[in-house]
Chains A and B, each alone.
Chain A
């Protein structure tokens, strides 16, 4: 019998799937564990020019609305004062006052500036609530209505 007659069955190389599946499952586990639904974040612009004169001395035509936020030692809000009007701790009243001020035509939105004076201990979330209250609101049609966009802080004492 010659060698030519020997039938050698071709050996099909077997693909090793197990390591690949291991790696894929590890990657999948990593992605599932680290997956977070990203929170939507947004910004409030504030005007803080260096060495700016106080609003009363500035030569531009901006109309400052003074908003004072008072706190206790624990950092909780104890009082909101809009100009000279005490509003308790109700942000809704602050928004209503700003709304009424602009609605009556006493102030031009583009030239009106909200100037915040806050106690140092106050928690930052109350300041953001107050900025939210004067910046605008979401109407029943789910549209954002802008009120005052010029926000400023008085320097800390």
Chain B
């Protein structure tokens, strides 16, 4: 019995150690586009905020479900601009963080439309956010290839 319990406890320890809580912010419905250049940033943004857009163009800000068009109102969803303003006001009051300090991370589904993502960015701009990053998944089926000929790239 003892060896089996030892192994089970070792397995438990392994899974507890590798559990990644940073993935908690990712939405299962969002399938990020692939890119060979997508690497985790060397210095993570100091004040990140994540907006997620799924393939059906539903918007999520944290746990809040949001809408962009009055035509696409869904039960339980609120206007994105309103939710953003509330979040920013809370950050300003609690930690004196201004909208300009925020880095808005956009996790949009590969099948979402560019126009919709741009309108999300515009809405975020309207509340004062100026720094944006587009998130992608490393590798996969994204475009890849090197244009290098012999000697490599040497900008003049």
Contacts and interface: CB of A to CB of B under 8 A. Distances in A.
Interface of A: 17, 21, 24-25, 27-28, 31-32, 35-36, 38-46, 48-50, 69, 75, 91-92, 95-96, 99, 102-105, 109, 118-129, 131-133, 135-140, 144-145, 153, 155-156
Interface in B39-87: 39-41
A42 to B, nearest CB: 3
A124 B112 CA distance: 6
Residue among B12, B35, B130 facing the most chain A CB atoms (10 A cut-off): B35
A123 B109 CA distance: 9
Contacts of B12: 24, 27-28, 31
Nearest to B145: A92
A38 B24 CA distance: 11
A123 B110 contact: yes
Contact of A138 (B33, B37, B111, B154): B37
30 contacts: A21-B8, A24-B5, A24-B12, A28-B12, A38-B20, A38-B22, A41-B136, A43-B38, A43-B105, A44-B133, A44-B136, A50-B125, A75-B113, A91-B145, A118-B115, A120-B115, A120-B116, A121-B113, A121-B114, A124-B114, A125-B111, A128-B110, A129-B35, A129-B142, A132-B35, A137-B36, A137-B145, A139-B152, A156-B115, A156-B118
Residue among B9, B23, B116, B136 facing the most chain A CB atoms (10 A cut-off): B136
A40 B114 contact: no
A36 to B, nearest CB: 7
Interface of B: 1, 5, 8-9, 11-12, 15-16, 18-20, 22-23, 26, 32-41, 105, 108-119, 121-122, 125, 128, 130-139, 142-148, 152-156
Residue among A17, A25, A103 facing the most chain B CB atoms (10 A cut-off): A103
Contacts, number: 193
Closest 4 CB pairs of A and B: A120-B115, A42-B38, A105-B156, A31-B15
A124 B111 contact: yes
A156 B142 CA distance: 25
B15 A122 contact: no
